[in-house]
Amino acid sequence: MLSSIRNHTKGWLGMTLLGLIAIPFAFTGVYSYMSGGGNVVVATVDGRDIGQREHTNAYQSYRQRLQSLLGANFRPDLLDEKTLRREALDRLIEEIVLVQTAQDQGYRVGINQLAQEITATDAFQTGGRFDRELYQMRLAQTGRTPEQYEQGLRTQLLMEQLLGGLGNTAFVTAAELAEAQRLQLQRRNLAYALILPVTMADLPVPDETALEAFYADSGAMFAEPEQVRLDYLDLSIEGLMHEVGEPDEVTLELLFEDEKTRLATTEERRARHILLELPADADEAVRAATLAKAEALHAQLVDGVDFAELARTESADPGSSEAGGDLGFFGRGQMDPAFESAAFEQAIDEISVPIRSAFGYHLIQVTEIRGKASPDLDSMRATLIELYRRQQAEQIFYDRSETLANLAYEHPDALDAAAEALGLEIQQSPWLSRATGDDWLLAEPRVLEAAFSPEVLGEGLNSEVLELADGRLLVLRLGEHKAARQLELGEIRDAVVASYPEMRAGELALERGSELLVRLRGGERLNALATEAGLETVEVSGMGRDDTLRPLSIVRAAFRLPRPGGSGSSVTGVELEDGGYALVQLLGVEAGVPETPEAATRLREALTRVQGSAELAGVMTGIRSRAAVDINADNL
């Protein structure tokens, strides 16, 4: 399967480095290439270690995506954190083997593609144009290296190529499309009547007996969960940067000398090339034949044959051949060394002799040169000051992190010793429950786990040093504790009285609807029942599965009912999302037919995506089964 889609590769330049404009900022999802994994190994995949920090980053991202997906329905107290951590690890392992497979199958990401992705990033632009000073500032602020960002972005694009290739090779047969049209595009005619709680809201104020009965039945609504208030120490690089003053002029000049080469905009050349591929293990006969062909092409170019036309027909680099061999602009350190050496020695329009690289033989023509622009100290001053402060803060952070761990362990019943030694303030959290959302620092899952752990909650000890996803370190201990309890009716009488009409109205709607459903199934007509009950009957023709005008529960119920006249009943009752009730009667079924050719095309594309996902799942299962994976469960 995978070998059949190798034509999606972007060419030999996928092997080169992006040193010119690569900058680490706002890239998430490919954790291993963005930061060190930490010393504690959680798993090893084909010899590649996954560290604890890397796993924690993956877990946090996975949990945040889950929260975003569920929205208001997100309930941290119902989550099994151990299961989530293992699921995040499984996804990370699959990501690693997916990237390795893409690389093994010949997928590459070219320098032009990387450059386009970065220069098009809004975070690096001013007024809609790429801003070099801005991305240099982002670099200093994040403390990450260009190589880390480049590798992360390259990895993301590799996976997109592989996944896109799988999607492009999937196909749907005519029979499968016809069956899908029949089912997915089917239309249903129905009638329904709504019994809404709002129509029963004029209930009398409950007497004490009714109120107590309602409170007893709904007591879980009025329970107060277990809560803690935490004392904690927070050590972070960002916090320490405030302790670092600006460097003196001598230090700034030394830093400038160290950084200017890396941050400078060096000379760039634009070139086109013709590549004749030559495998590294090719024998002498193949090498000689390839060189002979390269020399013959060189002779044609010298005689005046158009370079671009020859590149389109002869070059083996799919990433540039269609553009006449054009590679765009590149600087030193971005190409194969032999290729770079030749390109930077040539004059404009000169045709090189065949140049041997790791990919084969190249014929190169430089078409444009952009001049060198060396930065000066004043233009880089703000960036260098930011870089200096971060570097100094990082060193302080690593020194103090060891002190924090030692003192928190040596004085397990208090934070005072560590706070005094490190100059940190003992901070206090708000009241937290296990279901606290992610709107506050200590609501991060690892912190909540520690807060309610036997050591902290039961024994009153300091927690271990907790490293959060953003790199900061926390040590916490229990400040105050509230046990879970059932609130007394006297404490919440007003809330119970306010809730009673809504809850009771919903119950009455359900009771009334159930009574009418019995009569409807007994043969009475929906219109007559609705009129008798003072309800409105709504008739719908041609309702599709994707209907958004009716309540979702009614749509689902209508498509579950059997056709009228069959062996099953074509009437039902359903509870509505808002607490009401609906009586639903299916009147007829219309065969699914695409309304337009475009609709049929959209359905085919959707089915193809599903098929591609299924094929990808199968490929991933096979890849995972062949990978050597060793998981250290104790380190999760």
Distances (CA, A) of 67 to 64, 73, 91, 95, 448: 5, 8, 17, 21, 16
Query: Do 565 and 534 fall into the same domain?
Result: yes
User: Does residue 34 surpass a pLDDT of 60?
Assistant: no
Average pLDDT over residues 330-346: 85
Distance CA 589, CA 561 (A): 10
pLDDT of 561 higher than 80: yes
In a domain, 235, yes or no: no
Average pLDDT in the 620-624 region?
Answer: 81
* High-pLDDT (> 90) share of the chain, %: 32
Binned at pLDDT 50, 70 and 90, residue 408 comes out as: very high
Do 428 and 566 fall within a single domain? no
In a domain, 138, yes or no: yes
Most confidently modeled range among 5-9, 38-42, 160-164, 366-370: 366-370
Residues above pLDDT 70, as percent of the chain: 82
Domain boundary among 483, 509, 536: 483
The pLDDT of 361-373, averaged and rounded, is 86
Tell the burial category of 59 from Cβ atoms under 10 Å away from its Cβ (0-12, 13-18, 19+). buried
Is the same domain home to 291 and 364?
Answer: yes
Query: Residue 295 domain-assigned?
Result: yes
In whole angstroms, give the CA distance from residue 633 to residue 636: 5
C-alpha distance from residue 135 to each of 121, 263, 383, 521 (Å): 10, 10, 10, 69
Same-domain check for residues 29 and 139: yes
157 shares a domain with 27: yes
Report the number of secondary-structure helices (H) and strands (E) in the chain. 19, 20
Specify whether the CB–CB gap between 294 and 230 falls below 8 A.
Answer: no
Same structural domain, 39 and 129: yes
pLDDT at residue 32, as a whole number: 38
Tell me which of 539-543, 559-563, 587-591, 632-636 is least confident. Answer: 632-636
pTM for the whole thing?
Answer: 0.45
Residue range 6-23: mean pLDDT, rounded: 31
Residue 48 pairs in a beta bridge with: 45
Most confident of 2-6, 404-408, 464-468, 630-634: 404-408
376 part of a folded domain: no
Answer yes or no: is 230 within a domain.
no
* Residue 166 banded pLDDT, cuts 50, 70, 90: low
User: Rounded CA gap, 465 and 474, in Å?
Assistant: 6
Packing angle, helices 146-169 and 111-119, rounded to 10: 110
Q: What is the pLDDT of residues 192-225, one digit of tens each?
A: 999 887 555 566 667 778 777 777 777 677 788 8
Contact criterion met (CB below 8 Å) for 56 and 446:
yes
Residue 471, pLDDT > 80, answer no
- The token pair that represents 17 in the structure block: 């480095």
- Predicted local confidence at residue 21, as pLDDT: 27
pLDDT for position 439:
55
User: 482: alpha, beta or left, given left = phi > 0 and alpha = psi -120 to 50?
Assistant: beta
In a domain, 79, yes or no: yes
Same domain assignment for residues 129 and 212: no
Cβ neighbours of residue 571 closer than 8 Å, sequence gap 6 or more: 517, 520, 521, 526, 561, 583, 584, 585, 586
Residues 24 and 164 in one domain: yes
Query: Per residue in 273-302, pLDDT tens?
Result: 999 998 877 889 999 999 999 999 999 999
Give the number of domains in the chain.
4
Q: State both tokens at 615.
A: 């094929």
pLDDT above 80 for 405: yes
CATH number, domain with residue 165: 1.10.4030.10
Q: What is the pLDDT of residue 506?
A: 76
What are 65's two structure tokens?
Answer: 């995506």
**Residue 440: per-residue pLDDT:** 55
| pLDDT (0 to 100) of residue 367 | 94
Q: Is 332 within 8 Å of 266 (Cβ atoms)? A: yes
Which domain covers residue 211, as residue numbers? 187-221+491-590
Rounded Cα distance, 68 and 75, in Å: 12
Q: Report the CATH number that the domain containing residue 275 is assigned in CATH.
A: 3.10.50.40
Q: What is the pLDDT of residue 566?
A: 66
- pLDDT for 6 equals 30
Asked if the model's pLDDT at residue 36 lies above 60, the reply is: no
At which residue do the structure tokens 């699914």 appear?
Answer: 592
- For 140-155, the pLDDT digits (tens) are 666 555 566 677 778 8
Q: What is the mean pLDDT of residues 180-188?
A: 80
Give the pLDDT of residue 181: 73
Which of 292-301, 333-342, 612-621 has the largest mean confidence?
A: 292-301
Q: Which of 6-20, 77-91, 161-175 shows the lowest mean pLDDT across its residues?
A: 6-20
Q: Is residue 380 part of a domain?
A: no
Is residue 25 located within the same domain as residue 166? Answer: yes
Residues 164 and 58 in one domain: yes
- In this prediction, residue 546 carries a pLDDT of 86
What is the mean predicted confidence (pLDDT) over 305-331? 89
Q: What is the pLDDT of residues 479-496, one digit of tens each?
A: 999 998 888 877 878 777
Last residue of a domain, one of 451, 483, 515: 483
**Entry field: residues in the chain:** 636
Ranges 153-157, 268-272, 609-613: which has the least confidence = 609-613
pLDDT in tens, 424-442: 999 999 888 887 655 556 5
Asked whether residue 1 carries a pLDDT value surpassing 60, the answer given is no
Among the residue ranges 64-68, 371-375, 395-399, the one predicted with the least confidence is 371-375
What pLDDT sits at residue 3? 30
Provide the pLDDT confidence category of residue 25 given band limits of 50, 70 and 90: very low
Indicate whether 47 and 149 sit together in one domain: yes
In this structure, are strands 581-590 and 187-195 parallel, antiparallel, or unpaired?
antiparallel
- The overall average pLDDT reported for the chain is 80
Backbone angles phi, psi at 545, to 5 degrees: -65, -25
Task: For residue 177, give the nearest of 509, 607, 586, 634 by alpha carbon.
Answer: 607
Residue 84: pLDDT over 90: no
Asked whether residue 457 falls in the same domain as residue 478, the answer is: yes
- Section 330-343 average pLDDT: 83
Q: Is the confidence at residue 515, as pLDDT, over 70?
A: yes
**112 within domain boundaries:** yes
Q: Say whether pLDDT at 543 is over 80.
A: yes
CA–CA separation, 479 and 457 (whole Å): 10
Predicted confidence at residue 387, as pLDDT, reads 87
**pLDDT category of residue 403 using cuts at 50, 70 and 90:** very high
Last residue of some domain: 483, 502, 527?
483
pLDDT higher than threshold 60 for residue 455? yes
